[in-house]
Amino acid sequence: MTMTRTPLPTVAPERDAGIDYELFLDCVHCGLCTSACPTYVELGDENDSPRGRIYLMRAVTDGRIELDDAVQKHLDLCLDCRACESACPSGVQYGKLIEPFRIHMQTIGKKPDNLSWLQKFALYHMTPYAGRMRLALAPARFAQWTGMDWLAQKLGMTYLMPRSLRQMHEMLPPLKPHYGSLPEVLPAEGPRRARVALFTGCAADAFFPETNLATARVLQKNGCEVWIPRKQGCCGALHFHAAFDEPAKQFARQNCAAFGFSEPEALAKEVDAIIVNAAGCGAMLKDYGHLFHGAAEEDVAKLFAKKVKDISEFLIELGPIKPTQPMKLKATYHDACHLCHGQQIRKQPRQLLEMIPELQFVPLNESEICCGAAGSYNLTQPEMAERLGERKAKHILDTGADAVFTANVGCLIQVRRYLRAQKHEMLIAHPVDALWASYGGK
């Protein structure tokens, strides 16, 4: 019996987002994704569910509905957390639908602009550049260190700031001193088990430099020689998820060259893995092949992506050295979306934490529901980000834990912000910070 294939519709050029139409057809609208979607869980609106958004995008592509303000709002409210991909039994690649569709919206001038000029400048011209971010945060570090920041808040002086600046100020975590500049190559402790390259990132390095330092030290402790390429840059996620694909590609080209993947045959033979400790960066780096789909750089990008490993993923594969210093804490763990959904990494961070002596580990309700950070989402969609942040903070407090660990810079900032808003102080850190402490570090 010969199977006949249903012909695909002809898509008008002005409606063509460059999406393979077969990806729309993967969705059978079963609805199993709805309970995993943060916006649907909060709002209960089918248009704000993954299957609803897929229906909207397909209907716009087919010409059955217009890309009006209501449709744009539903699509823009998506966090791109990709929890629906984990929940979907049909293997729908939702990220490959929403991301190019948003780029299409940007191209035709239909993507909502919810940012002030100051926020745009900070997000796209400061945050992706590690050096600029360190300079920009220097006054804030000084204000926190001297107590001026605390005094200004007590006197209500922060309310004199422009709203957009006050919003960014509220997100600031306690800023620790920056480590400065690490040597380009750090030797392994004991017999060398691997040679790795460390991706230091931009925002993560500016806000949480202690985590990059801990990552390097943990790798050394586990017998890894660590190479830190000098010309590496931002992963490109901030631009890409905001639908600015060309700047994202420029950062990707820079990183491929910096890590030794300037030519298809290069293969960066000197390193066993490219290590990343930020979930959002890791998901983006692993997706470079998709970013350059159909372009001349696709093969190089795919070779680069194959080398990328999250720090927890790599250590579990390598076989981590057992930590010995006890941590008498009751702790829980929040799954960063682009680690558990974007990279399907769930067990490994927990396995590292469970190795720490005397650390009591307790489960977190809705651990895989987004906290509302989602890159720049807490600036572009502050109301929904606040609802999700408060929801996450409540679940964390319900555990009775003394500490919460999570593996992404945005989550660390968001979780801290909403726990602090509820007047609750607790240890909030990356799992690798805890591991380094248990190895005898600070």
Domain-embedded: residue 4: no
Q: Is 417 left (phi over 0), alpha (psi -120 to 50) or beta?
A: alpha
CA gap 388, 296 in Å, rounded: 40
Report residue 385 as tokens. 């980000």
Residues 327 and 296 in one domain: no
Is the distance from CB of 167 to CB of 161 less than 8 angstroms? no
Residues 257 and 210 in one domain: yes
| pLDDT at res. 4 | 47
Q: Which domain holds residue 291?
A: 185-316
The residue among 89, 107, 125 that closes a domain is: 107
Residues 24 and 90 in one domain: yes
Residues 378 and 286 in one domain: no
Domain-embedded: residue 176: no
Residues 150 and 203 in one domain: no
Is the distance from CB of 400 to CB of 362 less than 8 angstroms? yes
Looking up residue 308, the CATH number of its domain turns out to be: 3.40.50
Burial of 94 (0-12, 13-18, 19+ CB in 10 A): buried
With a CB cutoff of 8 Å and minimum separation 6, the contacts of 413 are 171, 172, 173, 207, 373
Domain-embedded: residue 48: yes
Across 259-293, b (16+ Cβ under 10 Å) vs e yields bbbeeeeeebeebbbbbbbbbbbbbbbbbbbbbbe
Residues 390 and 420 in one domain: yes
Residues 201 and 224 in one domain: yes
Q: How many domains does the chain have?
A: 4
Q: What is the pLDDT of residues 314-353, one digit of tens each?
A: 999 999 999 999 999 999 999 999 999 989 999 999 999 9
Residues 193 and 306 in one domain: yes
Domain-embedded: residue 357: yes
| pLDDT at res. 317 | 96
Residues 166 and 190 in one domain: no
Report residue 110 as tokens. 């239909």
Whether the pTM exceeds 0.85: the reply is: yes
| pLDDT at res. 106 | 80
| pLDDT at res. 191 | 93
Residues 304 and 392 in one domain: no
The residue among 282, 316, 350 that closes a domain is: 316
Domain-embedded: residue 221: yes
Domain-embedded: residue 8: no
Residues listed for the chain:
442
Looking up residue 31, the CATH number of its domain turns out to be: 1.10.1060.10
The residue among 316, 334, 361 that closes a domain is: 316
Domain-embedded: residue 6: no
CA gap 91, 27 in Å, rounded: 8
Residues 204 and 305 in one domain: yes
Residues 196 and 281 in one domain: yes
Domain-embedded: residue 178: no
Q: Which residues of the chain have pLDDT under 50?
A: 1-6, 264-267
